Amino acid sequence: MYLLFITTISATLRSNTDSPRSKVALLLCVLGVPDCLPIIHLWCHSIYCTVQYIRFVFACSVDELLDGGVWTGEVTEIVGSVGAGKTQLCLQVCSQVCCHESATVLYLDTTANFSAQRLCQIISKSLTSQAEIEKALRRVYYVRAFNIYSALQHLNAIKSRIVEHADSFYSGLKLVVVDIVSTLISPILGGQQSRGHSLMMELARTLKVLATELGLAVLCTNGVVQDHTGVSVKSALGKSWSHVPSTRIFVQAVESDECVGSKRRVSLVKSSRIRTRGLFSYFYITSGGLTPLYTENVGDM
């Protein structure tokens, strides 16, 4: 019986046709067997952690805030005002992913904020060879979507192309970036747009499927609106959207140093894995990407 367990698990994990979700489901099934040998429980648990989560780092102090970076199987959201540094954070993660030969990135841009030149600058900090930099850039697929219908079309196509195994790019896809979701959704909410909320929920479901069923890391950005006091700001799209991301961080400009760069502060406002109260991280936006400063825990003071 135990030999059958091990043989089945090993065959499933080696299979390229099974989705990450099916592999995790099998491991959870085995972990739930009460009379299973302890050694098999430990082995399955270690594999479960490997299959379920992979981290992609910002390579700065923000990683400490997020327990290691952006995780697969989750939707991570960056919230901030215009010019706060949301796109810079996205490009930083893209550079870390595409520097690996086996990993690719799909970047869906809704506002034309994406800059290939800026991404090249950040990649150049990790890779020195021009040939390696060009290969890394080819592992990023850039898509423009200026309305929600176009965005849903591109995002829904990801699943079918991964399942078909017909394209090496999608076989290696690890990160999907949507920059900015509020630009897609805000114009269709309220007024005469009766389908606005249902389209927003459809987008939310699509992002969740990409993360949980396909095991991708989904990183999106969101704008801000004034709260009821009119003094401070909060994330856009309201309470319905607030349940979509597993992790949410808030980035804001603090000050600038002409010799170093623009200083930013990031706070962790939502997480399904770690405590959020009083956690802040600081970094500079420089010509070579993000330069880490420090992380502080105000909650322990």
Rounded-to-integer distance, Cα 66 and Cα 247, Å: 8
Residue 215 sits in a domain whose CATH number is 3.40.50.300
Q: Which residues of 164-187 are buried (b: 16+ CB within 10 A; e: fewer)?
A: eeeeeebeebbbbbbbbbbbbbbe
Q: Same domain for 67 and 157?
A: yes
Is the distance from CB of 76 to CB of 57 less than 8 angstroms?
A: no
Q: Tell me the residue range of the domain where 100 lies.
A: 60-247
Q: Same domain for 38 and 121?
A: no
Count Cα neighbours of 137 within 13 Å in the Cβ-side half-sphere.
18
Q: Same domain for 230 and 85?
A: yes
The set of residues, in sequence order, having a beta carbon less than 8 Å from that of 298 and lying 6+ positions away, is 278, 279, 280
Q: Same domain for 156 and 26?
A: no
Chain segment 240-281, per-residue pLDDT in tens = 899 999 999 999 988 766 666 788 999 888 888 777 767 788
Q: Same domain for 115 and 175?
A: yes
Is the distance from CB of 251 to CB of 85 less than 8 angstroms?
A: yes
Domain contains 163: yes
- Residue 286 tokens read as 């420089």
**Cα separations in angstroms, 105 against 113, 126, 137, 289:** 16, 17, 10, 18
Domain contains 235: yes
Domain contains 219: yes
Rounded-to-integer distance, Cα 39 and Cα 23, Å: 19
Nearest to 294 by CA among 278, 281, 284: 281
How many residues does the structure list for the chain? 301
What's the whole-model pTM score?
0.80
Q: Same domain for 67 and 122?
A: yes
Rounded-to-integer distance, Cα 107 and Cα 90, Å: 9
Evaluate if residue 15 carries a pLDDT over 80.
no
Q: Same domain for 45 and 134?
A: no
Q: Same domain for 31 and 146?
A: no
Q: Same domain for 32 and 118?
A: no
Domain contains 111: yes
Domain contains 178: yes
- What average pLDDT does range 117-136 have in this prediction? 92
- Residue 55 tokens read as 């981290």
Domain contains 100: yes
- What average pLDDT does range 17-40 have in this prediction? 51
Evaluate if residue 218 carries a pLDDT over 70.
yes
- What percent of the chain is modeled with pLDDT above 70? 73
Give the model's pLDDT for residue 134. 93
Domain contains 284: no
Q: How many domains does the chain have?
A: 2
Q: Same domain for 189 and 46?
A: no
Q: Same domain for 210 and 69?
A: yes
For the chain, report the end-to-end CA distance as a whole number of angstroms.
54
Rounded-to-integer distance, Cα 254 and Cα 233, Å: 15
Chain segment 60-100, per-residue pLDDT in tens = 668 777 877 888 899 999 999 998 999 999 999 999 899 88
Q: Same domain for 195 and 70?
A: yes
Domain contains 67: yes
